[in-house]
Amino acid sequence: MNYKIALIRGDGIGPEVVEQAVLVMKAIGKKFGHTFTYEEILMGGCATDQVGKSYPDGTAERCKACDAVLLGAVGGPKWEGLSAQQRPEAALLAIRRDLGLYANLRPATLRPALTDACPLKKETAEKGIDLMMVRELTGGIYFGKRDRYDTQDRGVECTDLMAYSEKEIERIGRRAFELARLRRHKVASVDKANVLETSRLWRSVMHRLAEEYPDVAYSDVLVDNCAMQLVRDPGQFDVLVTENMFGDILSDEASMVTGSIGLLPSASIGDSAPGLYEPIHGSAPDIAGQDKANPIATILSVAMMFRYSFQLPDEATAIEAAVDGVLGEGWRTADMARMGESVVGTCQMGKLICQKL
Ligand code: IPM
Ligand code: MG
């Protein structure tokens, strides 16, 4: 089978980590008999520099002509002074909206070889961490109406509106319950229903869904408590489902408890192709171009692409096993190395994973 993949290499370390992921796809293609064709798409700060727009016209259409999108990272200090609409982050929000990518899956897994890298107590780490954050990605405060105006007596005032409809909540909730069925059959829904009306609606829709999935153990967790539980005992969670901004914050927290943000992939999917796959780390401009970045998060994002966009679980598992194999042999990039471990660069790490495949 041939798959057409849109490559958004982006800014900072984006191009370097995408390059290694492409080599891994090549190795998978050889092993399992697939071919890949690539569509290079310019987006982010590099697009601003080259064509004057972080989200060039036709970006979404070009992505829609592909089976999946692989993104490195966008953004960096160079573009921070630009207006809200011009910033590289605006391109990221636009592509999520235009491709209808309402479900963002962010697994936080403590890989067996890296139990030592977990910053939590040894007993906690040894219980293991394997949770899936399901973040609503195209609604809530990120996409609500914003305003900025002068007042007579309070200076400038701003508002950001958080709105959620039953329909939006139900579709993300369903994703979470369906995923739980493929995992350990547990869903925790995170909200702030003791304060927010959107959360009260969120909770009532989730309760309705929970009745449709009696085989899945359901619980409500308040967002502040969830932040605490993630560092106290992350092993208790299987699938966590939450709204856009809570998910943004909690997914960074969850990533950190697994030791290195350089390891975690993500998938953003909607009701139709293409899905978008990207590492959850950013563009890391401080180490860009130095062959220091960890390519594993992007490589594991490719595994998610095989699993969720192409329904090829064996290919996905092969990539994950190759990553675990290389880590098990003690190979580390600088971000996850401890004293005495052998440090390799971006290219070498990619090569080792390809060899394992
Ligand atoms: C993320 C990022 C983005 C977000 C930013 C870069 C707009 O933090 O993907 O988590 O807030 O969604
Ligand atoms: Mg974030």
- Number of the ligand 1 atom closest to the C-alpha atom of 93: 7
> What distance in angstroms lies between residue 43's CA and the mean position of ligand 1's atoms?
15
CA 142 vs CA 61, 115, 133, 200, 213: distances in Å: 23, 35, 18, 19, 30
Pairing of strands 265-269, 239-242: unpaired
Q: What pLDDT, on a 0 to 100 scale, did the predictor assign at position 14?
A: 98
- Secondary structure (3-state) at 136: strand
**pLDDT at 308 (0 to 100):** 95
pLDDT confidence of 171, banded at 50, 70, 90?
very high
Ligand 1 pocket list (CB less than 6 A) = 89, 92, 248
Q: In this predicted model, what pLDDT tens digit does every residue of 140-162 receive, in sequence order?
A: 999 999 999 999 999 999 999 99
Judged by its nearest atom, the ligand closest to the C-alpha of residue 266 is: 1
Q: Which ligand is nearest to the CA of 278?
A: 1
One-letter amino acid at 93 equals L
Nearest CA to 268 among 260, 256, 276?
276
Q: What is the pLDDT of residue 337?
A: 87
Q: Is the pLDDT of residue 23 over 80?
A: yes
Q: Residue of the nearest CA to atom 8 in ligand 1?
A: 248
pLDDT at residue 227, as a whole number: 98
Q: From ligand 1's centre to the CA of 90, what distance in Å?
A: 10
Portion of the chain with pLDDT greater than 70, in percent: 100
Q: What is the pLDDT of residues 265-316, one digit of tens each?
A: 999 999 998 999 999 999 999 999 999 999 999 999 999 999 999 999 999 9
d(CA 279, CA 294): 10
| Ligand 1, pocket-test mutation among 89, 133, 281, 301, most atoms within 8 A of CB | 89
CA distance 105 to 61: 23
Of the listed ranges 5-9, 329-333, 338-342, the one predicted with least confidence = 338-342
**Whole-angstrom distance, CA of residue 240 vs CA of residue 255:** 13
Q: How far away, in angstroms, is 88 Cα from ligand 2 center?
A: 14
- Give the burial class of 215: count Cβ atoms within 10 A of its Cβ; 0-12 exposed, 13-18 middle, 19 or more buried: exposed
Strand partners, 38: 5
Comparing 120-124, 127-131, 335-339, the range with the smallest average pLDDT is: 335-339
Secondary structure of residue 320 in the 3-state scheme: helix
Token pair belonging to 31: 């092993």
Question: 293, 13 in Cβ contact below 8 A?
Answer: yes
Cα 215 to ligand 1 centre (Å): 33
Tens digits of residue pLDDT in 190-219: 999 999 999 999 999 999 999 999 999 999
Instruction: Report the distance separating Cα 112 and Cα 118, nearest Å.
Output: 11
Query: What integer pLDDT is reported at residue 172 of this predicted model?
Result: 98
**Residue 45: nearest ligand to its CA?**
1
Atom of ligand 1 nearest to the CA of 96: 12
Q: How far is the CA of 62 from the centre of ligand 2 (A)?
A: 25
- Report, as residue numbers or ranges, the catalytic residues: 142, 192, 224, 248, 252
Which residues lie across from 103 on neighbouring strands? 136, 269
Ligand number nearest to the C-alpha of 142: 1
Let me know: does 136 contact 102? Beta carbons within 8 Å: yes
| 253-268 confidence digits (pLDDT tens) | 999 898 878 899 999 9
The residue whose CA is least distant from atom 2 of ligand 1 is: 248
pLDDT at res. 260: 75
Smallest CA separation from ligand 1 atom 7, residue:
89
pLDDT tens per residue, range 213-243: 999 999 999 999 999 999 999 999 999 999 9
Residue 297 sits at the vertex; the CA angle it makes with 132 and 216, to the nearest 5 degrees, is 10
pLDDT of residue 259: 81
Among 92, 102, 280, name the best residue to mutate to test ligand 1's pocket (greatest count of ligand atoms within 8 A of Cβ). 92
Bond before 295 cis per omega within 30 degrees: no
Which one-letter amino acid corresponds to residue 98?
A: D
What is the Å distance from ligand 2's center to 257 Cα?
15
- Asked whether the beta carbons of 48 and 54 are under 8 A apart, the reply is yes
The reported pLDDT for the residue numbered 261 is: 81
Q: Please give the distance of CA 54 from its chain centroid, rounded to a whole number.
A: 20
The pLDDT of residue 274: 97
For residue 259, give Cα distances in angstroms to 113, 137, 170. Answer: 11, 25, 33
Rounded Cα distance, 250 and 225, in Å: 11
